[in-house]
């Protein structure tokens, strides 16, 4: 009983840290975009957290953890129903780590993250109502089904696919949808001129920096909680590998971008840290400190080239979400087969299979959702609304009413 209490308290602390990450995402997104769209981004982030928790309670949790099922799709029923003992009292020994209620809340915090990734990629030009509809479907149905394939004991789990805390199950699931959404939306006005990408600076880099540091802190819960207990050795190792990968990702991304572009770009530095965090997430419990540094360093390098490639193919991602969450998510998932306790060709093939399955599922489902929204109600704001700002047109107010800037 005492051990269960200790484990449960640690899991609740981690739940709070993952919740805190949503503030980090909000700060990062508004910091890297323009002042006139600040309220719109904050509104989307708050909506995702609130509706995400409600949907995960009503359908998502039991879609993701259906119990015995065919490995592809299962549903244990609507709402939450705590397991009881034979005597009809609450089963505190739900598992060795924590109670049923803590399990729900911890996993629920993860669920909203996938749609938050898409929010950053479509910032500054997507209509708010179609985005809200997309978030409802993606968080409520698509993410839990995808999650059940591994974390719910589905067919990928049986194949040996490994994703400790969600490089693929969370980050790539959001990243694939972000690619589809960006392709269907098109770039912001002024992003490409004569075929060449133009910088559209964010309005508050200090806030973006604060957002990244908050996200790094939140990752202590994201990865540390995924141990699913307060096991001292494994939890400590996980936090060490998480931090080393983040540090290596940031430093190497900064060095590579400086070598290529001859300027010390803070936004690249920040995205390198996030890339390292995403990269280590699939195998944080399996890696040595040296493995973690190598994985983070490669993730940091990938960020620089991914951002450049995304610009070259004329996709407009204001916050670098595709490079960070999709590219580094894929890398981190594959890295499990190359480094750490599970390294080997069989494991690498299992990892590759998982990446391919999630890519196909997320691309198809997100395309269907967003394409239908595009054809029925439209997903892009008008040119005037985009130029004058979504805050004024979608929300009728300013985030900074006393500091209006001419951003047209």
Tokens 């992003």 sit on residue: 191
- Mean pLDDT, to the nearest integer, of 57-79? 93
The per-residue pLDDT for range 294-347, each reduced to its tens digit, is 999 999 999 999 999 999 999 999 999 999 999 999 999 999 999 999 999 999
H/E element, 193: strand 192-193
Own/partner long-range contacts of 87-96 (Cβ < 8 Å, ≥24 apart) = 92/1, 92/4, 93/4, 95/228, 96/4, 96/7, 96/229
Residue 404 has pLDDT above 80, yes or no: no
Residue 233 has pLDDT above 90, yes or no: yes
Position 3 scores a pLDDT of 72
Spell out the domain ranges in the chain. Answer: 2-395
Structure tokens given for 136: 């409802």
Tokens 């890519």 sit on residue: 359
Position 338 scores a pLDDT of 97
User: Are 335 and 48 in contact, with CB atoms under 8 Å apart?
Assistant: no
Residue 87 has pLDDT above 60, yes or no: no
Residue 405 has pLDDT above 80, yes or no: no
The per-residue pLDDT for range 249-260, each reduced to its tens digit, is 999 999 999 999
What is the CATH number assigned to the segment(s) 2-395? 1.10.3430.10
Structure tokens given for 268: 């690249």
Q: Nearest Cα to 319, choosing from 28, 21, 65?
A: 28
Structure tokens given for 307: 């951002």
Structure tokens given for 8: 């449960």
Structure tokens given for 54: 């409600």
Higher pLDDT, 193 or 92: 193
The per-residue pLDDT for range 279-290, each reduced to its tens digit, is 999 999 999 999
User: Are 316 and 133 in contact, with CB atoms under 8 Å apart?
Assistant: no
Residue 149 burial (CB < 10 Å; 0-12/13-18/19+)? buried
Position 38 scores a pLDDT of 96
Tokens 């936090």 sit on residue: 239
User: Are 69 and 154 in contact, with CB atoms under 8 Å apart?
Assistant: yes
User: Are 126 and 379 in contact, with CB atoms under 8 Å apart?
Assistant: yes
Q: Nearest Cα to 120, choosing from 54, 177, 198?
A: 177
Q: In which band, very low, low, confident or very high, does the pLDDT at 89 lie, cut at 50, 70 and 90? A: low
Position 67 scores a pLDDT of 87
Position 408 scores a pLDDT of 47
Q: Residue-wise over 98-135: b if at least 16 C-beta within 10 A, else e?
A: bbbebbbbbbbbbbbbbbbbbbbbbbbbbbbebbebbb
User: Are 327 and 167 in contact, with CB atoms under 8 Å apart?
Assistant: no
Structure tokens given for 314: 């004329």
Residue 75 has pLDDT above 80, yes or no: yes
The per-residue pLDDT for range 99-140, each reduced to its tens digit, is 888 999 999 999 988 889 999 999 999 999 999 999 999 999
User: Are 38 and 399 in contact, with CB atoms under 8 Å apart?
Assistant: yes
How far is residue 237 CA from its own chain's centroid?
22
Report field, pTM of the whole predicted structure over 0.85: yes
Higher pLDDT, 43 or 199: 43
């Amino acid at each position: 009983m005492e051990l269960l209490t200790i484990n449960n308290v640690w899991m609740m602390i981690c739940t709070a840290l993952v919740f805190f990450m949503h503030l980090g995402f909000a700060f990062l997104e508004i910091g890297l975009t323009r002042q006139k769209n600040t309220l719109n981004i904050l509104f989307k982030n708050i909506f995702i957290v609130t509706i995400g928790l409600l949907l995960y309670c009503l359908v998502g949790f039991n879609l993701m953890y259906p119990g015995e099922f065919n490995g592809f799709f299962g549903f244990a029923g609507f709402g939450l129903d705590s397991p009881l003992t034979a005597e009809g009292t609450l089963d505190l020994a739900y598992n060795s780590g924590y109670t049923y209620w803590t399990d729900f809340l911890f996993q629920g915090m993860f669920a909203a993250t996938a749609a938050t990734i898409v929010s950053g990629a479509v910032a500054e030009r997507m209509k708010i109502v179609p985005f809200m509809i997309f978030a409802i479907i993606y968080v409520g149905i698509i993410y839990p089904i995808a999650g059940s394939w591994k974390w719910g004991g589905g067919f990928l789990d049986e194949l040996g696919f490994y994703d400790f805390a969600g490089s693929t199950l969370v980050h790539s699931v959001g990243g694939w949808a972000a690619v589809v959404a960006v392709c269907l939306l098109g770039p912001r006005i002024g992003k490409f001129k004569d075929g060449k990408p133009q910088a559209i600076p964010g309005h508050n880099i200090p806030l973006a920096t604060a957002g990244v540091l908050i996200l790094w802190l939140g990752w202590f819960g994201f990865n540390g909680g995924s141990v699913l207990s307060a096991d001292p050795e494994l939890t400590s190792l996980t936090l060490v590998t998480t931090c080393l990968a983040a540090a290596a990702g940031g430093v190497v991304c900064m060095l590579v971008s400086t070598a290529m572009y001859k300027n010390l770009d803070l936004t690249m530095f920040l995205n390198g840290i996030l890339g390292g965090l995403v990269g280590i997430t699939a195998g944080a419990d399996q890696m040595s400190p040296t493995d973690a540094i190598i994985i983070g360093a490669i993730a940091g390098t990938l960020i620089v080239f991914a951002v450049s490639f995304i610009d070259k193919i004329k996709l407009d991602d204001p916050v670098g979400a595709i490079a960070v969450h999709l590219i580094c998510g894929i890398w981190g998932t594959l890295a499990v087969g190359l480094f750490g306790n599970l390294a080997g060709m069989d494991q690498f093939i299992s990892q590759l299979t998982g990446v391919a399955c999630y890519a196909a599922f997320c691309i198809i489902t997100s395309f269907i959702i967003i394409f239908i929204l595009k054809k029925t109600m439209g997903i892009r704001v008008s040119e005037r609304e985009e130029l004058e700002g979504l805050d004024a047109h979608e929300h009728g107010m300013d985030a900074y009413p006393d500091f209006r800037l001419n951003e047209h």
